[in-house]
Structure 1
């Protein structure tokens, strides 16, 4: 519902003081939403560079684009810019999916399971990049994640959900407290 792929059945979604509830997904992307789905969804036949150019289409014609910044955060993408995205590792594809969203300079990035199926060293690099987006660019990041280390590396605030309902709200550091960890692991 947040990114516009499903209709809301009640309530309102407000973004930057605007009601975006009725906007389609593409309009939300142009309004500043960046979405990185679970499974990455890069265009496998296209090169890294071509995938990133798709990201340049997002954010509207006058929006600031950040192609060099993507290569700064993810230098591996620059090395592989002429390589077909489908031949890259899962971690490289995840960096590409994040870079494709970042290139449109979103105000809000939404990630679904950013660490899924990725080797720990690449997850650590992705977490560092996401913290930089938040701290240096002012990008708000919402992510769904089950990996506790990833949560602790990125989150400032955590919402625990059970069966689609928020059951707890915690500061990011509180998730690492023994009593909270025990409760979450039950």
Structure 2
């Protein structure tokens, strides 16, 4: 597998369209954003180019390619307000493997390793993330990579007819 990750510096319409497609795909929405009810799950959210450029000014984004095909996106924010532990110098990470053919192939593992390296190079020593309770595959991966559960926020997101917790995890980079 020829995996390539690059920082997004110059967005274009193809990238914007891929991000919007993933952010609205019914199979992905429950895994990538919290929803309070069925109606929120079905809401379409389309970012325009100005919003994408604003996002890039506030935090770095990286594109994941396999065999030169865009398959995912990842990013990190420094000290966002939604951290569970308010520790200065903490990176909050987000990863989306948008292409269904790319899931379950170790790309998430490589993406996290890449982000950890980038974050460490920025002089940050702590990462925090949230993973929805029903996303057992991601939770297992994070545990295997040394992330520890620090909290469970109950009734955080709606999926499959009920409310689920958000599991907050952290890793201290050495």
Answer yes or no: same fold by TM over 0.5: no
| Bigger helix share | 1
How high is the TM-score relative to the length of structure 2? 0.36
| Bigger strand share | 2
Q: Which has the higher contact order (CA 8 A, sep 6+)?
A: 2
